[in-house]
Amino acid sequence: MNRKLWINFMAAILVVGLFMTVSCAKKTIVTDGTTIEDQAKVEAEEAAAAKVLAEQERIKSQELQDQMAKEQALKEAKILAAKNRFSNQNIHFEFDSAQLSSMAKQLIEEKAEWLGANSGVAVIIEGHCDERGTTDYNIALGERRAIVVKNYLVNLGISGSRLTTVSFGEEKPLDPAANEAAYRKNRRAQFVIK
Amino acid sequence: MNEIRLNKICGGKSRYHQFIGRIPCRIFFAGLAVLLFLFCLVPLQAKEVDYINISNPFLNKIPIAITQFKTFNGNDAEVNHGKNAEQILKDALDFTGYLKVLNSKGFLSNPAQTGIQLGQINFKDWTGIGADLLITGGIEELENQVTLKLRLFDAFNSKLLVGKIYTGASSQIRRMIHLFCSEVSHKLTGNWGVFNSKISFVSTVKGHKEIFVCEFDGHNPKQITHHKSISLSPNWSFDGRWLAYVSYAKGKPDLYIKNLKEKRGAIVNYKGSNISPDWMPDQLNFAAALSFSGNQEIYLLTKKGEVTKRITKSWGVNVSPSFSPDGKKIAFTSNRGGTPQIYIKDLDGGEVKRVTFKGRYNTSPAWSPDGKKIAYVGIKKNKIDIFVINLTSVSGMPVQLTMNQQDNEDPSWSPDGSLIAFTSNREGGVSRLFVMTSAGTDQRRLLTLTGKQSQPGWSKSTSFEN
């Protein structure tokens, strides 16, 4: 009986095992499907990540490029600004005077720096006056102003051969109005790049 | 001019014979050289004549009556030309500043009908209305030739002073009247007057400054240059044939010397600026300020532009030379003393004499034709005005000629010294040409032209040539 019970027990285990095997096989198939699904997902995720990475790389390099361009533009803008400043910042004088104020000297020193950094450039220094006074005398006064500015630049080491002077007297006012503000603007030495 | 025939009144055949004997023939036959001599003899002549001393600043205007012109044939052309001639005569004599042309509405008689000759005039009709002087005119037109018969009378002394007959085309009426005005001027002042003179000036044309020339009274302005640049400071040679001026045509101020008739000339374009030309009296040389040495100095140049002499030697600005009428001295502007002032220097060396001491800005000297005065521009209380300083007076006090009329610049004497042309922006702030007597009276606009005008330069000769 004992032996018969043992056999039955074994058979039961077998049956259960068989059942389990069957169910296990079924389960494996299901598991396999899940795996495939996961893999695609992973692959897609991986691809997406790579894409993001590439995009990030691209953006990064673009940013770098942009920054470089920006820096270049900034540099160029700075150069242009310096050039514009050189051309547009006039040296101002008192009425009937060709003497350089400390501000005027500072401005000329700035111009000397620019001329030093741009050694290929030759300039015309124009001398101008306000409308008061005589046509002839103002041409003479304008010439004195231009020459004084030129001499200061030469003393700062700029070659005189790069600097030409011309006086327009009262003939080319920046502001044609007849008031002190306009007069102040018009009494000037002005730089023109050749 | 050569189309105008001035009848030989002295040896003439007409009814004008009667008064010819009273007029000194030498005046009529005075050649050009003689005219120049007469110019030098002005003080003597003035004494002889003693009607008007134009250098007297307190001069009262002499009242003069100018009658309607008598027409000999009475046709429309004669009437119209007569009216035209009468107006030109009135305008010209009015322009002098020393004659007051009376309104014809008050006239008591009409010589155009009763006769324009000495025996036909009732002088009481003229002294009665306050006329010291009387001019009668007659006009005759034959075969397109106009003959003008003109007489100047001293109404107080019932005396004929000048009698002249001119014949020419009707287009020459203005010229003929001005020739007569010169005779009138000569009789009254000892000087031939301004009637044959011209004025050069600067005017803007489409934003550029060009050189123009007009007649003494602003008539007939003509553009001389077409540089389309900045052209400035025109100045006449003594004979009125040459103009020197400054132009930026090549980018900087250079001197241009131009023979107006022969279209030839020269350019002075030394390094630096070449400005402010002033021709010498009686010579085709001129002075100008050049800066080729690095400093503006005044030099003497030939009409070809060759530098023959350096006149100033002083650091700073030396510009605006103006010759004395004898050509021996030069007035100029210099800032050697710290501020711009007028100085005088002998051409043959010698020391420099400062002329102006009042004020901190005195420029643009213009030596008067009699040599006694210098007109200039001064800034006083921020106002730019024209002053005149007497070189012979002990005090040396300048007289201000313009006042409270905005800015006034560029004085230029008429060749007889009676008038000064100048630039003023008194009309709406726009720069225009004006004229006044040398005493500063009768300030009036010289001409009407579009654009802005400046820098009048009066021609120097009073002769009839050119």
Note whether A171 contacts B: Cβ–Cβ < 8 A. yes
Top-confidence residue, B322 or B262: B322
Identify which of B209, B317, B455 has the shortest CB distance to residue A137.
B317
Quick one: pLDDT at residue A47?
A: 87
Q: Which residues of B touch A128 (CB under 8 A)?
A: none
B8 vs B245: CA distance, rounded Å: 41
* Cβ pair A133:B361 closer than 8 A: yes
Structural domain includes residue A8: no
Of residues B439, B462, B243, B289, the one with CA closest to residue B369: B462
Task: Quick: pLDDT tens for B108-159.
Answer: 999 988 989 888 999 999 999 999 999 999 999 988 899 999 999 999 999 9
The two structure tokens encoding residue B108: 């008591």
Nearest alpha carbon to residue B14 among B228, B223, B165, B189:
B165
Determine, for residues B319 and A166 on separate chains, whether the beta-carbon distance falls below 8 Å: no
Neighbours of B182 (CB within 10 A): 24
Of A134, A147, A166, the CB nearest to B364: A134
The tally of CA atoms less than 13 A away on the side-chain side of residue B463 is 19
Say yes or no for a CB contact (<8 Å) between B233 and A96.
no
Pairing state of beta strands B62-71 and B133-142? parallel
Buried b (16+ CB within 10 A) or exposed e, A131-165: bbbbbbbbbbbbbbbbbbbbebbeeeebeeebbbb
Residue of B231, B296, B408 best to disrupt the A interface, most CBs of A under 10 A? B296
The per-residue DSSP string of B82-131 comes to: HHHHHHHHHHHHHHTSSEEEPPGGG-S--HHHH-SSGGG--HHHHHTTT-
Bridge partners (DSSP) of residue B424 are: B408, B432
pLDDT, mean of residues A24-28: 50
DSSP letter at A8 equals: H
The answer to whether position A106 is within a domain reads yes
- Is residue A12 situated within a structural domain? no
Cβ-defined contact of A168 to B248 (cutoff 8 Å): yes
Q: Residue B383: closest CA among chain A residues belongs to which residue?
A: A132
- For residues B263 and A123, the model is more confident at A123
Where do the DSSP E strands lie in B216-271? 222-223, 231-236, 242-247, 254-259, 264-268
| Inter-chain residue contact B209 with A96, CB threshold 8 Å | no
> Nearest Cβ partner of B363 from A133, A147, A167?
A133
pLDDT score at B322: 98
**B204: closest chain A residue by CA:** A171
Residues near A150 by beta carbon (within 8 Å), at least 6 away in sequence: A125, A160, A163, A165
Q: Do B253 and A134 touch (CB under 8 A)?
A: no
Q: For residue B56, what pLDDT band results from cuts at 50, 70 and 90?
A: low
For the purposes of burial, counting CB atoms within 10 Å of the CB of B75, is it exposed (0-12), middle (13-18) or buried (19 or more)?
Answer: exposed
CB-based burial of residue B7 (10 Å sphere; 0-12 exposed, 13-18 middle, 19+ buried)?
middle
What is the CB neighbour count within 10 angstroms for residue A175?
13
Q: Choose the mutation target among A96, A125, A134, A148 for the interface with B, i.e. most B CBs under 10 Å.
A: A134
Q: What CATH number is given to the structural domain containing A175? A: 3.30.1330.60
Residue A37, domain member (yes or no): no
Average pLDDT over residues A41-45: 83
Strands (E), chain A: 91-92, 123-128, 163-169, 188-193
Which whole number is the average pLDDT over A68-97? 91
**What is the rounded distance in angstroms from the CA atom of residue A183 to the CA atom of residue A93?**
10
Q: Are B255 and B299 in contact (CB under 8 A)?
A: no
Q: Using 50, 70 and 90 to split pLDDT, how confident is the model at B41?
A: very low
Nearest to B242 by CA among B222, B225, B264: B264
Is A44 part of any domain? no
> Are A140 and B454 within 8 A, CB to CB?
no
Give me B332's structure tokens.
């100029």
Distance CA B387, CA A136 (A): 18
Whether residue A137 is contained in a domain is answered as: yes
Q: Residues 6 or more apart from B201 whose CB is under 8 A from it?
A: B211, B212, B213, B214, B234, B433, B453, B454, B455, B456, B457
| 8 A C-beta contact, residue B235 and residue B243 | yes
> The tokens of B342 are what?
């007028």
Q: What's the structural domain count of chain A? A: 1
Residue-range definition of the domain harbouring residue A99: 89-193
Residue B52's pLDDT band, with cuts at 50, 70 and 90, is confident
- Touching check for A150 and chain B: CB below 8 Å? no
Q: Is the pLDDT of residue B10 over 70?
A: no
Buried b / exposed e over B23-51, threshold 16 CB at 10 Å, is beeebbebeeeebbebbeebeebbeebee
A182 in reach of chain B (CB within 8 A): no
Residue A98 lies in a domain: yes
**B343 neighbors B355 (Cβ within 8 angstroms):** yes
B258, B279 contact by CB (below 8 A)? no
Residue A52 placed within a domain = no
| A21 pLDDT more than 60 | no
| C-beta separation of B166 from B6 below 8 A | yes
Of residues B230, B291, B379, nearest to A171 (C-beta): B230
Contact: B319, A137; criterion CB under 8 Å:
yes
- Asked if residue B72 has pLDDT above 70, the reply is yes
| Domains of chain B from N-terminus onward | 5-189 (3.40.50.10070), 198-458 (2.120.10.30)
**Structure confidence by residue, pLDDT tens digits, A121-145:** 999 999 999 999 999 999 999 999 9
Chain B positions in Cβ-Cβ contact with residue A135 (cut-off 8 Å): 232-233, 409-410, 454-455
Q: Using pLDDT thresholds of 50, 70 and 90, give the confidence band for residue B37.
A: very low
Are A136 and B361 a contacting pair at CB < 8 A? no
Query: How confident is the model at residue B25, as a pLDDT?
Result: 38
Q: Measured between CB atoms, which of A96, A135, A140 is closest to B232?
A: A135
- Determine the 3-state secondary structure of A54 from DSSP: helix
Nearest to B340 among A96, A147, A168 (CB): A96
